[in-house]
Each structure stands twice: as structure tokens, then as C-alpha cells.
């Protein structure tokens, strides 16, 4: 059972890194569940303060993830159509075979969303889509950084007790 929890925890931490880029999977929260699984093994002692602080950080980032792209769009004069377009473009870019499709999709989606709102003002639509793109990049960078930190925590904890597992 210990090895099973270890493997599943490692998968969750890896999914946390992948989830930093996918809008469907909450990256830091998924990575935190990997840390929790590691600490539920009888080999590694439960560290409640560590788990509490990392959970609080994951929840804060999860909440901010919904606001940062919108703040970027609003800061550059965008509307909710630009925010919706960013999300739709991100998903389409994710499934497209184009390299960096997510980045291109977020930008194009915001641009098209803003053009739907006001088809005559392409300059404002371009500025708003740039803001949505910057917001997406900032949000993804924050999520990726925390997910990598959780991965490193997992490896350090495992490495400390590796002789007991194997």
C-alpha cells in the first residue's frame, strides 16, 4: 500500500505541473494532493503545518487564477467577451497541433471576443487581447512555479525516507 500511495502521489504532483498549463486541471491543488498522499504513508510522518501552509497557498493561487487574466484584460480596456474569448481560444489552442497553440489561442480568442463586442474598434480589441494574453502568461507562470515547488518538496521528502521504501 505504501508503494501505491507513493506512485499515485508522484502522479498527482506531475499532473500538478501539467495542470499549470491546462485550464481543466487545477495545477497547484492537484500537486498538493500528491503531497498529501505522500504524507499519508506510514513511513513519512504527517506534517500538518507544512500541509496547511501549502494547501492555503494552493487555494489562494486557485482563486487568483480566475482573476489574473480578467484583471489583465480589464487593465488594457477589455470586456467580459475578451475574457470568454481567452478561455475558448485557450481550449481550442490546447487541442490544436500548432506549436504554442495555447498562447496563440488565448491571444486570438481574446481578440475575436473583443471584436464580437465591438467590431469597429480593432485597436481597442488588439490592446485588450494583449492584456488577456499577459494575464494568462502571469497566471500560468505563478501556477507552474508553485507546482514545481510542490514537485521538489515531494522529491525531497521521498529522498529523505527512500531507504525505508526500497
- Look at the alpha carbons of 42, 44, 47, 50 in this order and tell me if their dihedral is positive or negative: negative
CA–CA separation, 81 and 9 (whole Å): 38
pLDDT tens digits, one per residue of 74-99: 788 778 888 788 778 878 887 877 76
pLDDT at 12: 96
pTM here is 0.80
Domain count, the chain: 1
Helical axes 27-39 vs 48-75, angle rounded to 10°: 180
Higher per-residue pLDDT: 166 or 13: 13
pLDDT tens digits, one per residue of 126-153: 888 888 778 888 888 999 999 999 999 9
Residue 35 has pLDDT above 80, yes or no: yes
Instruction: Give residue 87's domain range.
Output: 2-165
Higher per-residue pLDDT: 136 or 166: 136
Amino acid at each position: 500500500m505504501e508503494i501505491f500511495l507513493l506512485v499515485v502521489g508522484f502522479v498527482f504532483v506531475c499532473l500538478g505541473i501539467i495542470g499549470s498549463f491546462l485550464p481543466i486541471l487545477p495545477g497547484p491543488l492537484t500537486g498538493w494532493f500528491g503531497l498529501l498522499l505522500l504524507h499519508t504513508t506510514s513511513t513519512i510522518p504527517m506534517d500538518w503545518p507544512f500541509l496547511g501552509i501549502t494547501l492555503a497557498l494552493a487555494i489562494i493561487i486557485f482563486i487568483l487564477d480566475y482573476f489574473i487574466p480578467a484583471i489583465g484584460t480589464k487593465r488594457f480596456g477589455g470586456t467580459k467577451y475578451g475574457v470568454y474569448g481567452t478561455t475558448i481560444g485557450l481550449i481550442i489552442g490546447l487541442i490544436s497541433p500548432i506549436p504554442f497553440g495555447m498562447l496563440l489561442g488565448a491571444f486570438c480568442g481574446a481578440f475575436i471576443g473583443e471584436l464580437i463586442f465591438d467590431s469597429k474598434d480593432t485597436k481597442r480589441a488588439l490592446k485588450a487581447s494583449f492584456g488577456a494574453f499577459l494575464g494568462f502568461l502571469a497566471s500560468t507562470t505563478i501556477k507552474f512555479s508553485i507546482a514545481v515547488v510542490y514537485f521538489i518538496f515531494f522529491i525531497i521528502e521521498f529522498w529523505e525516507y527512500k531507504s525505508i521504501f526500497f
